[in-house]
Amino acid sequence: MSKRDYYEILEVSKNANAEEIKKAYRKKAIQYHPDKNQGDKAAEEKFKEAAEAYEVLSNAEKRQRYDQFGHAGVGGAAGGGFGGGMSMDDIFSHFGDIFGGGFGGFSGFGGFGGSSRGGRRVNKGSNLRVKVKLNLEEIANGAEKKIKVKKYVQCNSCSGTGAADSSSYSNCSTCHGSGQVTRISNTILGQMQTSSTCPTCGGDGKIITNKCTSCAGEGIVRDDEVISLNIPAGVEEGMQLSVSGKGNAARRGGVNGDLLVLIEEEKHPELMRDGNNLIYNLNISIPDAILGTPVEIPTVEGKVKVKIEPGTQPGKILRLRGKGLPEVNSYGRGDLLVQIQVFIPKNISKEDRKAVEKMQTSESFHPSNGTGESFFSRMKNMFE
């Protein structure tokens, strides 16, 4: 299933500014919020879709990559299995920025402000960066790569809680278990009550008295993880794909960071890349240029047979349509350009020398006796 355009999802124009995008997302988030659409799967999908669109478009770097490369540029390649979307926790962890501050929280909707997520500070794991080297064949076809990364993963002994067992907690003495601290201040409008996340327990309402020994109470440990990456066809050196949630695990059951995959390209021994086109330099002999010959050309799908026509001029370019590289996240495909060069030997045998001397005096080898082509028709022939 292909993904919808992020701008379309939020119903904003391509050049919408940050404020317009935020506003549009806020509208969608309210419209499709799970608390308002209980049990409605379609609304939940729309809610997630909008969050994903916002996640990309609200980040200048991601938005630029999306504008340039589409979903593939931000880890959402169509059919690529990349990314895997955002979890509800990811989505709610953003709400502080969207609805916080002057917006007045969620008091407008029943149940929202009181949800268990409200006010709890969510730890976010850091992003991981890896490089993946691909050869031209892999770039042409897309590739599944398994990579081993050393990263923070959830501690198995405590399931990421950081506590030795379920009795290892006591109520937080700062907030008395509420997770919130309330401050009352006097203003000209009367008493104002502001509440914020408890700094001692981070909003949990309890603190760990007996820490898990495997992770020293962090809830995470270093370990190797094998991650399978689906790299879409057509990627390019320097492109960065992001796999959401595959970065470092966060302390004490927070939200995982992302895995950022930097693409590196291995040089092909024979084919040169120019955007989506490939270039191959073909060296033929003088007799082959004059008499024509069948040749084999390497492509990313193996060798193909091509006929060199009699009378082929040096510098002529043969275009093998569709034998280049696919466009990333699209249907187009580049061409393979075969640049023909004619090999001129420096050292020749006595016998050959005689033959060439004969050519030298022969009328048919004289340039003025050529086809009489104009410069422009010659140029045109080069690209036929």
Per CB under 5 A, the list member of 215, 255, 325, 338 interacting with Zn ion is: 215
CB of 128 to Zn ion, least distance (A): 21
Between 156 and 369, CB nearer to Zn ion: 156
Between 43 and 122, CB nearer to Zn ion: 122
CB of 213 to Zn ion, least distance (A): 8
Between 215 and 250, CB nearer to Zn ion: 215
Q: For 288, which DSSP code?
A: H
Residues 6+ apart with CB under 8 A from 326: 140, 233, 234, 276, 332, 333, 334
Between 43 and 153, CB nearer to Zn ion: 153
Strand-pair category, 302-308 with 293-299: antiparallel
CB of 185 to Zn ion, least distance (A): 20
> In this structure, what are the phi and psi dihedrals at residue 28, rounded to the nearest 5 degrees?
-65, -40
Per CB under 5 A, the list member of 53, 77, 139, 172 interacting with Zn ion is: 172
Cβ atoms 128, 257 nearer than 8 A: yes
**CA gap 6, 56 in Å, rounded:** 8
Per CB under 5 A, the list member of 37, 123, 174, 230 interacting with Zn ion is: 174
CB of 157 to Zn ion, least distance (A): 5
Q: Please provide the size of the chain in residues.
A: 384
**CA gap 293, 286 in Å, rounded:** 11
Q: Applying CB under 5 A, which part among 130-138, 185-193, 209-217, 354-362 lies near Zn ion?
A: 209-217
**CA gap 170, 167 in Å, rounded:** 8
Between 121 and 378, CB nearer to Zn ion: 121
Q: Does 198 bind Zn ion (CB under 5 A)?
A: yes
Between 201 and 241, CB nearer to Zn ion: 201
Site size toward Zn ion (CB under 5 A) is 12
CA distances from 339 to 272, 297, 367 (A): 11, 11, 22
Per CB under 5 A, the list member of 50, 72, 164, 212 interacting with Zn ion is: 212
Taking CB under 5 A as the criterion, which residues in 262-301 touch Zn ion? none
CB of 154 to Zn ion, least distance (A): 8
CA distances from 241 to 17, 264, 314 (A): 24, 12, 42
Place of tokens 């920025």: 97
Residues 6+ apart with CB under 8 A from 298: 270, 271, 280
Q: Applying CB under 5 A, which part among 170-178, 182-190, 236-244, 346-354 lies near Zn ion?
A: 170-178
Between 255 and 300, CB nearer to Zn ion: 255
* Closest to 28 (Cα-Cα) out of 5, 48, 3: 48
Tokens of 346: 């420096």
CB of 174 to Zn ion, least distance (A): 4
Q: Applying CB under 5 A, which part among 63-71, 198-206, 315-323, 344-352 lies near Zn ion?
A: 198-206
Q: For Zn ion, what does the binding mask look like between residues 135 and 164, x meaning CB under 5 A?
A: --------------------x-xx------
Between 22 and 251, CB nearer to Zn ion: 251
DSSP 193-240: EEEEE-TTTTTSSEEESSB-TTTTTSSEEEEEEEEEEEEPTT--TT-E
Tokens of 200: 């001692």
Between 105 and 177, CB nearer to Zn ion: 177
Q: Applying CB under 5 A, which part among 32-40, 99-107, 215-223, 366-374 lies near Zn ion?
A: 215-223
Residues near Zn ion (CB under 5 A) are: 155, 157-158, 172, 174-175, 198, 200-201, 212, 214-215
